[in-house]
Amino acid sequence: MINSSTESSLRKVLGSFRREEYVTLLKQWGSFPADRLSDVEKATSMKRTAKKALVQHVIQLCSVKNLSKHAVGELELIYQQNHPNSRKWSVFQLTEQAETKEKHHVTTMEEFKERLNKQLSLYFRNDLCIRRHRDAWWIRLGIQEGTQFHRQTASNVVYMVHPPQSQFIILSTIKVSHKDCVMQALLNSLRCSEIREIQLTGRNLDSLASLALNSNSQGWFSQFRLNQVDTNPLAKRPSRKRKAPSSEILDSDIVFENEKEKELRDKQVLHSFGSNEQPKLQKIEYKLETKFRGCEFAPAMSLNKEPFRCRVKFEGTNVLEGIRQLAKTGLVSLPLPHHLGNVHSLAKNHFVLADKKRTRPPEQN
């Protein structure tokens, strides 16, 4: 039979499933009896069956196996792999050890798990699950606090995603009290000299990974990364007629009186953002520490020599796409400043804007 604490954890995980994904996720799990999947499929097809009753039915079918806490953790990891956007993620960059010139990505997933488990055990008891999913290593770290192992709250669970051939690792929210220990364990396991947060956060994991891994091929250059161009851009070729840009108006209340100006604007937007869908960032934040430039409207501010500090925040389901649409409709001035028009290539969405410090030339005697 299933342990009571394990059953409670399993019930919580199963309660997160959508009705139509029970069979698929349980099949990926591998710890559920294959001959009972048909019973689950039949139960999920009965629309009148309450979610609570469905979960209880699956738990009863699981009782034929002595499930461990680790097995439930693996099921939770599988659920997270299928719902990556349910959490907030932060991107960290790894720096290799220069003195040994040892590449951290040469290790296998099994070796990495063994190293990481050994390092984490120096700080706290833990339950470590790791699976490969879409060419990346997915790690679920459950940290024990207290005297009993079943005391593993949601805040003590950390998810990590590491493409093994890259210098980036993406982490879910982690407790401040655990952060230093986990970072040191990752450094020793991946044999790196430094791990630092690159101020790139959000909920869309695929977009964050794309912004970090492909920072040099965003915007207009994304067409080459996505193999949408079948010729060498540097090779000489005869010019051919281009299709006229679409004259579709996104807002029916907007009337374009100057078509030439609109064509120029469309060209500038295409050059900055390209024609592909933009990576999804839910927030872009700027902290300004610059000289106040509105003295003609507020003359008294000219007497203040201290930097003018304020915070500007853009929020939405897809901020980069929103900025592009504002530029297309002429609601912002073009060309966009560098910190707005090149966000997709900076691999950051938190910025500090400050005035450049001018250095005086050395005095000649």
For 132-155, write each residue's pLDDT tens digit: 998 899 999 999 876 654 556 788
- Highest-scoring range by mean pLDDT, 292-301, 317-326, 334-343, 353-362: 317-326
> What integer is the mean pLDDT of 312-340?
89
**Confidence category of residue 249, pLDDT binned at 50, 70, 90:** very low
- 333: helix, coil or strand? coil
- In this structure, the dihedral spanned by the alpha carbons of residues 76, 80, 83 and 87, taken in order and rounded to 10 degrees, is 120
**pLDDT for 242:** 46
Given a cut of 50, whether residue 70 has pLDDT beyond it is: yes
Inform me whether the pLDDT recorded for 1 exceeds 80.
no
CA distance 115 to 190: 8
Task: Determine if residue 302 is left, alpha or beta; phi over 0 gives left, psi from -120 to 50 gives alpha, anything else beta.
Answer: alpha
pLDDT of residue 246: 45
Question: With 90 as the cut, is the pLDDT of residue 77 above it?
Answer: yes
Average of per-residue pLDDT across 182-197: 92
pLDDT at position 272: 85
Q: What is the CATH number of domain 247-354?
A: 3.10.20.720
* pLDDT at residue 219 greater than cutoff 70: no
At 289 the pLDDT is 85
Task: Enumerate the domain spans of the chain.
Answer: 4-82, 86-213, 247-354
Identity of the highest mean pLDDT range in 72-86, 133-147, 232-246, 274-288: 72-86
CA distance 235 to 238: 10
| Mean pLDDT lowest among 13-22, 95-104, 114-123, 314-323 | 95-104
Say whether the peptide bond before residue 335 is cis (omega within 30 degrees of 0): yes
The answer on pLDDT for 310 being more than 50 is yes
Whole-model pTM: value is 0.81
Question: What average pLDDT does this structure show over 262-267?
Answer: 88
Average pLDDT, the chain: 83
What pLDDT, on a 0 to 100 scale, did the predictor assign at position 330?
Answer: 83
State how far the Cα of 127 lies from the Cα of 115, in Å rounded to an integer: 14
The pLDDT tens digits for 78-132 are 999 999 999 999 999 998 766 555 555 557 889 999 999 999 999 999 999 999 9
What pLDDT is attached to residue 237? 55
Structure confidence at residue 8 (pLDDT): 87
Residue 240, pLDDT > 60, answer: no
Q: How far is CA 26 from the centre of its chain?
A: 26
Residue carrying the six token digits 């879910």? 172
CATH code linked to domain 86-213: 3.60.90
